């Protein structure tokens, strides 16, 4: 089925402030910029700050591609106390002796998570359990048993360890796959060291191609308006691109399948392709379905314009 839209498309990268839910952030940005439709590409908890790409108008149809990209975070794990939410906002569930901790052991334990590992999501999470968010059940005191899932930690870099304080901690940066809970990583780190731990704070520093240097505060977005908007293709820079002719562009507007010479586009079946016109306008995403020695056949996946070709 072909997706079509009703509005122009744009993306803005928000540096989400502390204490605001992702949906509250989307609503605020949508109103500041005058869009009727908006969405984000991955929830950040209220206590988490940092990179939150917000998709406006037709660009909401691109959010799914960015949500699957890896994320990077700066995190701080505190030792000596575990909580029911696995972060600093929760109720203490366990305390322990921190005097056995050694820097080398902390580094070794952290590095042992690099690669794939089975992680059990926290009860206080947005995962659906029979149509209800897990955190809603947890807040009512109901038992929440979520299945462990395989996540990937691509890289961990230790930034600071301080054991000579009332709350010993380790600060580290981490690159990980979609669906990884960093507060659970902090909790699991404590389990591995036999010392209760929780996540004190977390900043998302990168999602897909977007970093903190691309992100704007709400005040900046309100002040600069359209100046902070990015073209929708900025969310999928690695996707193959094909600039079509005027005749083909008319077909794209109606979601008609296209053929392309392998001389202009070399791809395998399943490859997603950004379709642009000669002026550079990004109008659709097509997928390669059939390939032979000379031609590719592409079918429409998402079309971001109306039948008249207007964005």
Domains 9-67+208-234 and 71-205 alike in fold: yes
Give the Cα separation of 295 and 211 in Å (integer).
38
| Architecture in CATH of 9-67+208-234 | 2-Layer Sandwich (3.30)
144-149 contacts at long range (C-beta below 8 A, 24 or more positions apart): 146/120, 146/121, 146/122, 147/120, 148/118, 148/119, 148/120, 149/118, 149/119, 149/120, 149/121, 149/179
Domain ranges of the chain: 9-67+208-234, 71-205, 239-303
pLDDT at residue 247 in the model? 92
Quick: pLDDT tens for 252-289: 989 999 988 877 777 788 899 999 998 888 989 999 98
More confident residue, 26 or 268: 26
> For 170-226, what is each residue's pLDDT tens digit?
999 999 999 899 999 999 999 999 999 999 999 999 999 999 999 999 999 999 998
Q: What is the token pair recorded at 310?
A: 């207007």
The pTM score is: 0.88
Q: What architecture is the 239-303 domain classified under in CATH?
A: Beta Barrel (2.40)
What does the pLDDT look like over 149-172, one tens digit per residue? 999 999 999 999 999 999 999 999
Whole-angstrom Cα distance, residue 189 to residue 111? 10
Phi, then psi, of 178 in degrees rounded to 5: -55, 140
Instruction: Report pLDDT digits (tens) over 84-138.
Output: 999 999 999 999 999 999 999 999 999 999 999 999 888 776 777 767 777 776 6
CB 47 within 8 A of CB 41: no
Helices marked H in the chain:
22-33, 63-67, 103-111, 134-139, 182-193, 218-224, 246-253
**C-alpha separations of 307 from 204, 251, 283 in Å:** 39, 10, 11
pLDDT band (50, 70, 90) for residue 145: confident
What positions carry a catalytic annotation?
A: 45
| Assigned CATH topology for domain 71-205 | Pseudouridine synthase (3.30.2350)
Torsion sign across C-alpha atoms 175, 176, 178, 181: negative
Quick one: average pLDDT of 288-302?
87
């Amino acid at each position: 089925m072909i997706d079509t839209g009703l509005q122009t498309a744009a993306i803005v990268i928000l540096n989400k402030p502390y204490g605001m839910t992702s949906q509250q952030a989307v609503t605020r940005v949508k109103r500041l910029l005058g869009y009727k439709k908006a969405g984000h590409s991955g929830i950040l908890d209220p206590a988490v700050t940092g990179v939150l790409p917000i998709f406006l108008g037709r660009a909401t149809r691109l959010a799914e591609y960015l949500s699957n990209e890896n994320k990077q975070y700066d995190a701080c794990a505190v030792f000596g106390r575990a909580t029911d939410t696995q972060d600093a906002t929760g109720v203490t569930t366990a305390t322990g002796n921190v005097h056995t901790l050694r820097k080398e052991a902390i580094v070794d334990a952290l590095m042992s998570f690099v690669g794939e590992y089975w992680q059990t999501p926290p009860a206080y999470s947005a995962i659906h359990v029979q149509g209800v968010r897990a955190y809603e059940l947890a807040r009512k005191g109901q038992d929440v048993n979520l299945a462990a899932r395989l996540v990937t930690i691509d890289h961990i870099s230790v930034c600071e360890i301080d054991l000579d304080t009332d709350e010993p901690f380790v600060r580290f940066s981490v690159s990980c796959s979609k669906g990884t809970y960093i507060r659970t990583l902090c909790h699991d780190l404590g389990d591995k060291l036999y010392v209760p731990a929780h996540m004190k704070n977390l900043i998302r520093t990168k999602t897909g191609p977007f970093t903190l240097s691309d992100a704007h505060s709400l005040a900046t977005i309100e002040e600069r308006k359209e100046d902070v908007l990015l073209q929708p293709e900025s969310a999928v820079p690695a996707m193959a691109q094909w600039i079509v002719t005027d005749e083909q562009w008319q077909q794209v507007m109606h979601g008609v399948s296209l053929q392309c010479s392998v001389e202009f586009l070399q791809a395998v079946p399943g490859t997603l392709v950004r379709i642009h016109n000669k002026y550079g306008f990004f109008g659709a995403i097509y997928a390669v379905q059939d390939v032979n020695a000379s031609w590719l056949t592409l079918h429409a996946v998402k079309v971001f314009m109306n039948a008249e070709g207007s964005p």
